[in-house]
Structures are given as C-alpha cells and as structure tokens.
Amino acid sequence: MPGFELFGAEERKEVQDVLDNGVLMRYGFDPMRNGHHKALELEQNLAKRMNTQYAQVVSSGTSALTVALACAEIGAGDEVIMPTFTFVASFEAILSVGAVPVLCDIDDTLTLDPEAVEKAISPKTKAIMPVHMCGSMADLAALKAIAQKHNLILLEDACQAIGGTYDGKPLGSYGDLGCFSFDFVKMVTCGEGGGIITNSEKFADRAHMYHDHGHDHVGNDRGAESHPFLGYNFRISELNAAVGIAQLRKLDHILEVQEKHYTILRNALSEIPEVTFRKVPETGVESYAFLNIFLPTEDLARKAHKALGNHGVDACFYWFDNNWHYYRKWEHLLEAKSLSKFSEEIRTGLQKNNRTFEASDAWMSRTVSCLIKLNWSESEVNERASKMTEAIKSIL
C-alpha cells in the first residue's frame, strides 16, 4: 500500500525542481519559479485522474476534510453522521468547524450501514460522511439516495481508498465532495498532504480561498488580494506537492501490484471454510490496499491475529482493540477531553455517542485486516499466503 515503497528518481527530480528555483511556498514569487507551480500541477493531475472538474491540494487529509466541511457551510451545532470505524481525523475535522460528529453503525462493508444512517438523521443533520476504510467503500448509491431525500451533503472520506471505484467512478467523485490523504503511509504520498475533489464550482471556489487565509488569488500582488470571508492556513508546500506529482503517476501501477498480491492471499484463505471476506458493494472495485477477513467469533479472531504474528506475518491489524481507528478507545471524544473549551452545542451533541454500537462490534470483533505491500517478490507473497493459511488453521 504505501507509496513510499516506490520512492525514487522521479520524486527526487520533482523536488529538485523546487530546490533549484528556491520557491518553497505555493503562492507568489512567480518570477523566480522558472515555470514550476507544483501544487497547481498536482491539482490539475488529480482532477484529471479522478475525472472531476476541480481539485484542491492542502496540507493533510485532516485539513482536506476540514476545508470540505467549511465549503459546504457546515458549522456550529450542525451534525455530521460518520462511522464508528475510521481514523480520529474524521471527527477532529468535524469538531474543528464547530459541528458535532454523530457516530453510526457499520455493516459487513466495514463502512456506514445505510439503514443505521437513516435512523441517525435528526433536524440538525447536515452531512453524511462515509469513510472508505482499508481500500473499499460503502453502499454509495443507498447513501446518496438518503442524502438527496433529506437534502444533505454527501462527503466521501476516501483517505484510505484512492484508486478504488464505485459505479465506474473514482472513489471521492461520487458524492458532493471527496477527500484524500497523502501522508507517508498512503498509496500516494506527499510526505504530508491531502486533496479535495468536486464537480461543484461553488465548493471549488471556496476551497482555494478558505485554505489560504481567505485570499481571493486575484491579480499578481498577494498583499493586495481581497478576503471575501475568513479562512485558515491549510496550504501545502511546493516540496510536498512535488513528491505527490511523481507519486500520482504511479497510482495505476500501485493498483495493479496490490490487486495481484491481494488475489494470491485471498485465494489461499478462500480454502478455509471458516474464513469469509468483507463485502464490496455491487459495482464497487476496491483499491486492494488491505485484505479484510472475518472469523466466526471474536475469540477466534483474536487467536487468529496472534497466530499470524507468531507465524511471522507482519502488518496485520485487529481494529477492535485499536486506539486510533475504532470508537471503543476514543475516550477523548466520548468524554469531550479538549485543551480548548467546547461549545455547549458540541458538549450536548456529543452525548448522543455515549452508547454502545452492537452492530459495529459484531463485525469489528471478528475482523482481521492485513496490509498489502508493494515490494513483496512473488516468492514472498506465496510464502506469506502459506504462513497465513497455516496460522489460521492452527487456531480452528
């Protein structure tokens, strides 16, 4: 999965362009750039690859979500429905604009359950945020229908699933807005960075201003630009964007390698009747970033995860006990632990999350996920498949 596995001469060339002209900042200093505008080039390439009209690159996946929420005018007291299984950045972004994250159960896609989403909608709901965890997606058609029925924003957090598709469309492009992370362990890395895609001219116009202190970017004198509304600093540097340009060119190759490795491992584990696999919605094609399996019970899943480690199979995760990706360990959210004071609207709204999520627990307690790496040789993948099969059979 990680793009840094393929870091090489292409990335160094793009970075050297920036070092040679000496302009590390995204905006201004045009006479010095020698024609190099790396952030702008990455945006153009991202929009083209994702078949969208617009793209905005920013400093991280978290800032991408934050900017997207702000562009959709989501703020004080508004509720955003999000899954119990994601990275903490999802709710951090929601809180950062003054809105309330409302946790919602997942199903066997390991993403939002549309039936649970429908039940979670309140008069304060303004957006649905499916998170395409571990390379695959929610039932987006169902979620889009719900969003349209209730006049809600559909914001795709595709930070872990760049390159996957749904109904023939790149993940991130199906909803009103889509967000990516380009951090160091993502399929496409900038070191640190993120991206927003949309087909909405309104959202795109807001994004380029909001992420840069509200600058309208009109004219050639940055100090004379106007500020139609408040913004913040979520800019990406030219150095980070330069890395992303080279990385994005490799996406199709990354997907091809991941699918190959994923398929070998899945075919091997398919021989074990007790192992089943995460559901990929009809018309969906995952990015093959992770192989996600279900064991019959929580006890067997725990034993399988331990056995995999004992058999030398690394990079396997039991998310049910994870501090960062599953709601059970998010006491800082559930107990509203913050250095800055939350508004009363947020403190009251967060109380909705102080409950159990039995449906989510039923799936996550039985799930083991294994990262798909790019640099495995064919013999290493086959050896890994044998070790995984041996490990899981040993606990059944």
**Identity of the residue numbered 309:** G
- The pLDDT, as a whole number, for residue 1 is 76
DSSP structure string for 332-376: HHHTT--SSPPPHHHHHHHGGG-S--HHHHHHHTTEEEEEPPSS-
Catalytic position from the list 126, 144, 186, 250: 186
Per-residue pLDDT, 107? 98
CA angle 351/353/356 to nearest 5° reads 125
Predicted pLDDT at 2: 85
Runs of H (alpha helix) within the chain: 9-21, 38-49, 61-71, 89-96, 114-120, 140-149, 201-210, 238-249, 251-269, 298-310, 331-334, 344-350, 358-364, 378-394
Q: What is the rounded CA–CA span in Å between residue 141 and residue 145?
A: 6
186 is catalytic: yes
CATH 3.40.50.2300 describes domain 3-250? no
pLDDT per residue as tens, the chain (396 positions) = 788 999 999 999 999 999 999 999 999 999 999 999 999 999 999 999 999 999 999 999 999 999 999 999 999 999 999 999 999 999 999 999 999 999 999 999 999 999 999 999 999 999 999 999 999 999 999 999 999 999 999 999 999 999 999 999 999 999 999 999 999 999 999 999 999 999 999 999 999 999 999 999 999 899 999 999 999 999 999 999 999 999 999 999 999 999 999 999 999 999 999 999 999 999 999 999 999 999 999 999 999 999 999 999 999 999 999 999 999 999 999 999 999 999 999 999 999 999 999 999 999 999 999 999 999 999 999 999 999 999 999 999
Q: Where in the chain is the domain with CATH 3.90.1150.10?
A: 252-394
Express each pLDDT in 356-392 by its tens digit.
999 999 999 999 999 999 999 999 999 999 999 999 9
Contact yes or no for 15/239 (Cβ under 8 A) = yes
What backbone phi and psi angles, to 5 degrees, belong to 367? Answer: -100, 135
Q: Which residue has the tokens 């006890």?
A: 299
CATH 3.40.640.10, the chain: domain bounds: 3-250
Please give the single-letter amino acid code of residue 192: E
pLDDT at 69: 98
Please state, in angstroms and rounded to a whole number, the distance separating the CA atoms of residues 114 and 143: 6
Domain 252-394 carries which CATH code? Answer: 3.90.1150.10
**Is the Cα dihedral 73, 76, 79, 85 positive or negative?**
positive
Tokens of 13: 């060339």
User: Who contacts 159 (Cβ-Cβ below 8 Å, separation ≥6)?
Assistant: 61, 64, 87, 89, 131, 132, 179, 180, 181, 186, 194
What is the C-alpha separation between 244 and 247, in angstroms, rounded?
Answer: 5
> Using CA atoms, how far apart are residues 295 and 143, in angstroms rounded to an integer?
28
Q: Are 138 and 105 in contact (CB under 8 A)?
A: no
pLDDT at 23: 97
Instruction: Please report the pLDDT score of residue 311 as a whole number.
Output: 98
How high is the pLDDT of residue 339? 96
Q: Residue 160 carries which side chain, given as an amino acid letter?
A: Q
CB 254 within 8 A of CB 189: no
Degrees, nearest 5: CA angle 32-37-40 = 155
Q: Give which of 292, 279, 277, 274 is closest to 392, Cα–Cα.
A: 274
pLDDT at 315: 96
